[in-house]
């Protein structure tokens, strides 16, 4: 299997050969930063294009097709349009918090983004408390949304921010419970070890019924956490203009748009990592020849295949179901998902402690 | 090394926002107009401030979330080692777990989960 840590250690040795260690690490960090930015931008472009095409497909339309072949330059035109719009500052807003909100949203998104494992040895942050760090980073994002809505001093953004706050913090509970269920099974909080433990079969195959329930809960709650799909009432355009970013213009608005799509990818990538094995190829214990053939396919192809499969699932959900009301939304979380999540956790503990799994 | 990378990611995020805003400031037009600073909302002039008393239901759910989230955070370190600790540890955590379920049941019974 292709291991990226060979490449990174080769680069490290090459650099330390010609310069002191400090500058070598500095240059590597610079390269990592540029890598994050490039990857972030490219993924955003792919995801937005995919969303438009998938949405068109579900509504029996073609989607963007005028700018360039198959409309692939539509996104670049959008980016340029966003950059050449004037950034407006409001008269009666809280100026400091108004400017701070996009920073928090992007920081939360990039921190969560850097926990993703793309290939064997190709990760940026791999803490031994990775899952807790991931949850901490994603829950920072709601702060930015609340600040954006509150500081613009407009009634619609205020309503939207409050709805969004209630929604995101509520569904975070379900995300936590479903990830906790997986942690009980794998016995580690580190993403690389969770992937390593799926070498003899992805968790969705060997994890029994509790993991299936956790996967479904995670998909629902993850969808709600990104303010998408049937849970998009913070930016219900027919009621609240554009939600918490109504008063933002140009690139300021662009940050919220960017982070929304990247959060979609992050949720999908974590689902792929935790439940579907991340970069781990499909292994069936007993069939050694089959496993050897699967190992020839590089890990990042497996990872992106799984992640984009989950992204497609989430888009499918988004364009299929009608929007929920706020009382239905909170009822779904607190009266259905949380009790099921707690019950599921208890079930998982029984399975693990009494060794009922294979 | 992990913390160096964490700081790298943080600085990258800051750089992305600052650089994009800087480019936008450079190439975007700017004009002054007293109407521009007004809140857009839905297009017509707004009445009054928006920083006012708000529905208390949202805060109630925030408090509920705080309680449950802190309790799930306590469960994480235990969940990582449950396989090694065996059956006895499960029974001692069971009481903690029951308090969690009991709290939810109490909130449900008191009607805190209803949206009024």
Q: What is the secondary structure of A234-287 as a DSSP string?
A: GG-HHHHTTGGGTT--HHHHHHHHHHHHHHHHHHHHHHHHHTS-TT-----TT-
| pLDDT tens, position by position, A14-72 | 887 788 878 878 888 888 888 888 888 888 888 888 888 888 888 888 878 888 788 78
Residue showing tokens 């349009």? A81
Among A25, A86, A335, the residue with its CB nearest the CB of B30 is A86
- Which residues of chain B neighbour A125 with C-beta distances below 8 Å? 2, 5-6, 9
Q: Does residue A345 contact residue A177 with C-beta atoms inside 8 Å?
A: yes
Domain map (residue ranges) of chain A: 86-353
pLDDT of residue B79: 83
Compare CB distances from A334 to B73, B79, B113 and report the shortest one's residue: B113
A154/B41 touch (CB, cutoff 8 Å), yes or no? yes
User: What does the pLDDT look like over A138-150, one tens digit per residue?
Assistant: 888 888 888 888 8
pLDDT tens, residue by residue, A96-130: 888 888 889 999 999 888 888 888 777 788 888 88
Arithmetic mean of pLDDT, A245-251: 81
CA-to-CA dists, residue A353 to A50, A203, A212, A330, B88, angstroms: 43, 17, 19, 33, 10
User: How far does Cα B110 stand from its chain's mean position?
Assistant: 25
Residue among B77, B73, B95, B97 at smallest CA distance from A176: B73
**Quick one: which of A226, A219, A221, A223 has its CA closest to A142?**
A226
Burial A232-250 (b: 16+ CB within 10 A, else e): bbbbbeeebbbbbbbbbbb
Half-sphere exposure (Cβ direction) of A327: Cα atoms closer than 13 Å: 4
Minimal Cα distance from A86: which residue of B? B28
| Segment A84-93 mean pLDDT | 80
Answer yes or no: is pLDDT of A240 > 80. no
* Inter-chain touch A33–B8, beta carbons under 8 Å: yes
Give percent above pLDDT 90 in chain B.
Answer: 0
**Considering all CA atoms of chain B, what is the largest pairwise distance in Å, rounded to the nearest integer?**
72
Nearest CA in chain B to A109: B13
Using pLDDT thresholds of 50, 70 and 90, give the confidence band for residue A332.
Answer: confident
Cβ A327–B37 below 8 Å, yes or no? Answer: no
pLDDT at A174 > cutoff 80: yes
**Closest partner CB to B28 (pick from A84, A176, A352):** A84
Nearest CA in chain A to B76: A180
**Is residue B39 over pLDDT 80?**
no
pLDDT of residue A236: 67
pLDDT of residue A287 exceeding 70, the answer is yes
pLDDT value at A308 more than 80:
yes
| CA–CA separation, A103 and A97 (whole Å) | 10
Binning pLDDT at 50, 70 and 90, where does residue A170 land?
confident
The residue ranking higher by pLDDT, A259 or A206, is A259
Shortest Cα distance, chain B CAs vs residue A181, angstroms? 8
Cβ neighbours of B6 in A, within 8 Å: 111, 114, 125
Other beta carbons within 10 Å of B70: 9
Whether residue B41 and residue A246 make contact (CB cut-off 8 A), yes or no, is yes
Lowest mean per-residue pLDDT among A56-60, A313-317, A353-357, B76-80 = A353-357
Contacts of A187 in chain B (CB under 8 A): 80-84
Q: Identify the pLDDT of residue A188.
A: 84
Interface touch A154/B50, C-beta < 8 Å: yes
Q: What is the mean pLDDT of chain A?
A: 84
pLDDT of residue A71: 79
How large a percentage of chain A has pLDDT more than 90?
4
Q: Are strands A117-119 and A122-123 parallel, antiparallel or unpaired?
A: antiparallel
Q: What's the rounded Cα separation, in Å, for the pair A197 and B112?
A: 41
Handedness of CA B98, B103, B104, B108 (dihedral sign): positive
**For the structural domain made of B2-28+55-109, what CATH number should be given?**
1.20.58.1610
The rounded distance, in Å, linking the Cα atoms of A280 and A303 is 8
Over residues A330-346, the mean pLDDT reads: 87
Closest partner CB to B40 (pick from A36, A154, A255)? A154
- pLDDT level of residue A358 (50, 70, 90 thresholds): low
Residues 6+ apart with CB under 8 A from A253: A82, A245
Cβ contact (<8 Å) for A246 and B40?
yes
* pLDDT for the residue A237: 65
Mean pLDDT across A225-244? 76
Strand partners, A122: A119
Handedness of CA B38, B39, B43, B48 (dihedral sign): negative
Q: CA-CA distance, B5 to A10, in Å (whole number)?
A: 18
Give yes or no for a contact between B50 and A154, defined as CB atoms under 8 angstroms apart. yes
Residue of A nearest to B13 (CA): A107
H-state helical runs in chain A: 4-18, 21-58, 74-83, 95-113, 130-151, 155-186, 191-196, 203-206, 208-225, 237-240, 250-274, 288-295, 299-318, 326-331, 338-353
Q: Report whether pLDDT(A288) > 80.
A: no
Quick one: closest CA in B to A179, which residue? Answer: B76
Average pLDDT over residues A348-355: 80
Q: Which of B65, B82, B97 sits opposite A169 (nearest CB)?
A: B65
Most A-contacting residue of B2, B41, B53, B60 (CB-CB within 10 A), to test interface: B41
Taking the CA of residue B34 and the nearest CA in chain A, the distance in Å comes to 9
Q: Hunting for tokens 């992204």 — which residue is that? A: A311
pLDDT given for residue A357 in this prediction: 65
Q: Residue A342 is nearest to which of B24, B79, B100, comparing CB atoms?
A: B100
Predicted local distance difference test score (pLDDT) of residue B47: 75
Q: What pLDDT is recorded for position A79?
A: 83
CB-CB under 8 Å, A84 with B27: yes
In whole angstroms, how large is the CA radius of gyration of chain B? Answer: 25
Distance of alpha carbon A186 from its chain centroid, rounded? Answer: 21
């Amino acid at each position: 299997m292709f291991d990226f840590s060979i490449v990174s250690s080769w680069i490290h040795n090459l650099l330390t050969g010609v310069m002191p260690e400090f500058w070598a690490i500095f240059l590597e960090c610079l390269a990592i930063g540029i890598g994050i930015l490039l990857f972030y931008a490219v993924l955003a472009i792919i995801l937005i294009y995919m969303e438009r095409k998938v949405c068109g497909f579900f509504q029996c339309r073609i989607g963007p097709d005028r700018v360039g072949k198959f409309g692939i330059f539509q996104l670049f035109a959008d980016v340029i349009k966003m950059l050449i719009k004037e950034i407006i500052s409001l008269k009666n807003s809280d100026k400091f918090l108004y400017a701070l909100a996009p920073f928090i949203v992007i920081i939360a998104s990039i921190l969560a983004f850097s926990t993703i494992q793309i290939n064997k040895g190709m990760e940026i942050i791999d803490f031994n408390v990775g899952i807790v760090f991931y949850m901490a980073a994603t829950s920072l994002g709601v702060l930015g949304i609340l600040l954006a809505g509150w500081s613009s001093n407009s009634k619609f953004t205020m309503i939207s921010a409050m709805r969004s706050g209630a929604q995101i913090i509520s569904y975070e509970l379900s995300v936590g419970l479903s990830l906790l269920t997986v942690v009980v099974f794998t016995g580690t909080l580190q993403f690389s070890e969770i992937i390593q433990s799926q070498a003899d079969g992805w968790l969705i195959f060997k994890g029994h019924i509790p993991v299936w329930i956790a996967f479904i809960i995670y998909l629902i709650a993850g969808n709600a956490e990104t303010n998408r799909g049937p849970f998009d009432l913070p930016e219900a355009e027919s009621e609240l203009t554009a939600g918490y970013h109504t008063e933002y213009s140009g690139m300021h608005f662009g940050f919220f748009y960017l982070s929304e799509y990247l959060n979609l990818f992050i949720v999908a990538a974590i689902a792929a990592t935790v439940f579907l094995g991340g970069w781990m190829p499909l292994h069936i214990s007993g069939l050694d020849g089959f496993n050897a053939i699967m190992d020839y396919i590089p890990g990042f192809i497996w990872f992106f295949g799984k992640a984009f499969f989950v992204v497609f699932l989430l888009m499918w959900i988004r364009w299929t179901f009608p929007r929920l009301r706020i009382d239905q939304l909170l009822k779904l979380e607190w009266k259905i998902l949380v009790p099921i999540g707690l019950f599921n956790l208890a079930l998982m503990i029984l399975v693990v402690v009494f060794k009922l799994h294979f | 090394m992990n913390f160096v990378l964490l700081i790298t990611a943080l600085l990258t995020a800051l750089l992305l926002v600052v650089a994009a805003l800087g480019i936008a400031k450079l190439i975007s037009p700017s004009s002054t107009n007293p109407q521009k600073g007004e809140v857009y909302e839905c297009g017509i002039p707004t009445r009054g401030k928006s920083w006012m008393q708000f529905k208390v239901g949202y805060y109630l759910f925030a408090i509920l979330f705080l309680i449950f989230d802190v309790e799930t955070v306590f469960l994480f370190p235990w969940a990582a080692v449950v396989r090694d600790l065996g059956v006895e540890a499960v029974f001692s955590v069971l009481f903690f777990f029951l308090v969690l379920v009991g709290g939810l049941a109490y909130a449900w019974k008191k009607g805190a989960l209803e949206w009024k």
